[in-house]
Amino acid sequence: MRYRIRTRAALIAGAAFAFSGIALAVPPHFVLVEPLEGHNWTSVYSVTADGLLATGLSQSPRGAVPFFWSVESGRADFITGYDGTFLVAVSEDRSVIAAMFWRNGERATLLYLGPIEGPYTGLSNTEEFSYNPLGMSGDGSVVYGVRSPSGTGLGESRPFIWRGGDSAPELPNVTTSYDTIGGGPNASSCMDYSGSQLVGMLGNNEYGIFLGVVWEGDTVSVLPGLPDDPVQMGYVAGISRNGRYISGMYYDWGAIWDNRVLTTIFPPIYLYTYPVMKAVADHGRLAVSDDQIWTRERGLEDATVFLAAHGAPITEGWGFYHFNSISADGSVLVGTLYRDSPRIYRGFIAYTSYSPCFADFNEDGGVEGRDVEDFFLAWQASEERADVNIDGGVDGADIETFFTQWARGGCAQ
């Protein structure tokens, strides 16, 4: 595996093509990102909607160094010059980053928001609060995370959003029975592209249960459960970039909400495992938990099985630790592997052959004439679900995609 150390200026000068947003045809393969010399682990935390740029971290006992991985370069470009930098996210147009910086070896975080090449603006820790950013909107205008009273741990944290300036307001509660303490957003995929919706949880510490919620501006609403369920216990961890689908867990089952209606639940594969679906694709037909993947076509399965079936088997000798993020179409997945004796970690990027199948458009279990009729009704009405090629519009290209899949009686996955 190749890697290169660069300063910020050199990185920008040499990466104009890589960050230009040009869609590249990427054959299925699996990438294990090696750390800098003297470092002992890496992790990949985020990937852009098109899957062409991933961000991560190389870690050592002395500090951390962030990196970008681009498809065009095929290597990790490390950004040096800052002590203990934690790169959280990059905007979809590659123009803005959100990161934490440790100063003078102390865990006094400073949240930066600015162009990749700088200069940066920031929200510094205060005597009152410490900030822990988790992610950002697609255009980089909104950063979200959790803030803790100075001197306390994340167990006392409350969610915040930041749109620039010198303050980051705390998000509201929906009821006095549930609190944001220890709750709020919990992953890098909890905000939609526009930054208008943020998902997370409110907790009731007395009963040890959670409500899945959506924040929009100064309002917060509870995600519903199944009809006539008085508790509606939900654990929410992800929202698709288009804002339509929300993923998480309903009681002990994996769950997908479509336009805030609970439409899909599925049991865990193994006893005493909890499939919290932490990211969901824009088409709603693929979602990931820490180490499992659910698709409409194959159901819930172990991550290693899915990746092997889609041309990106994990590197031999490594175990699966967790996913962190996925591309908008679900074909590119990033996260962390581990290996024992001694325990070490490596970030990965899996470029798979997965593509959603819409041949059974009405999802009745068969591919037949009724699917054609239902598709054309949705297409003529310009319904979002008729965008089967997932390009953001409903047009003739969707007809071609649908009939290609339907004519062969489905999709081999």
Query: In this structure, are 378 and 315 located in the same domain?
Result: no
- Tell me if 247 is assigned to some domain: yes
The pTM of the full predicted model, rounded to 2 decimals, is 0.84
Q: Is the pLDDT of residue 303 over 80?
A: yes
Among 331, 357, 383, where does a domain finish?
Answer: 357
Residues 63 and 95 in one domain: yes
pLDDT at 188 over 70: yes
What band does 21 get if pLDDT is binned at 50, 70 and 90? very low
Query: Lowest-confidence range among 6-20, 198-212, 288-302?
Result: 6-20
Chain centroid to CA 97: 15
Closest residue by Cα to residue 133 from 149, 151, 111:
111
Higher per-residue pLDDT: 332 or 19: 332
Q: Is residue 294 part of a domain?
A: yes
**Whether residues 409 and 344 fall in one domain:** no
User: How many domains does the chain contain in total?
Assistant: 2
Using 50, 70 and 90 to split pLDDT, how confident is the model at 118?
low
Higher pLDDT, 186 or 77: 77
Instruction: State whether 303 and 386 are in the same domain.
Output: no
269-282 pLDDT per residue, tens? 887 778 889 999 99
Residues 294 and 371 in one domain: no
Same domain, 349 and 393: no
DSSP notation for 297-351:
TTEEEEHHHHHHHTT-PPPTT-EEEEEEEE-TTS-EEEEEEEETTTTEEEEEEEE
195 lies in some domain? no
pLDDT digits (tens, 9 = 90+) for 214-240: 998 878 888 888 877 766 677 888 999
Q: Do both 283 and 380 map to the same domain? A: no
Same domain as 298, residue 366:
no
More confident residue, 405 or 412: 405
In a domain, residue 77? The reply is: yes
Quick check: 28 pLDDT over 60?
A: yes
* Residue 185 resides in a domain: no
**Encoding tokens for residue 331?**
């074909």
Helix (H, G, I), strand (E, B), or coil: what is residue 83?
coil
Ranked by mean pLDDT, the top range of 123-137, 177-191, 232-246, 306-320 is 306-320
Q: Are 112 and 103 in contact (CB under 8 A)?
A: no
**Domain that includes residue 24, residue range:** 3-172+240-357
Looking at the structure, do residues 333 and 375 belong to the same domain, yes or no?
no
The residue with tokens 């006392």 is: 156
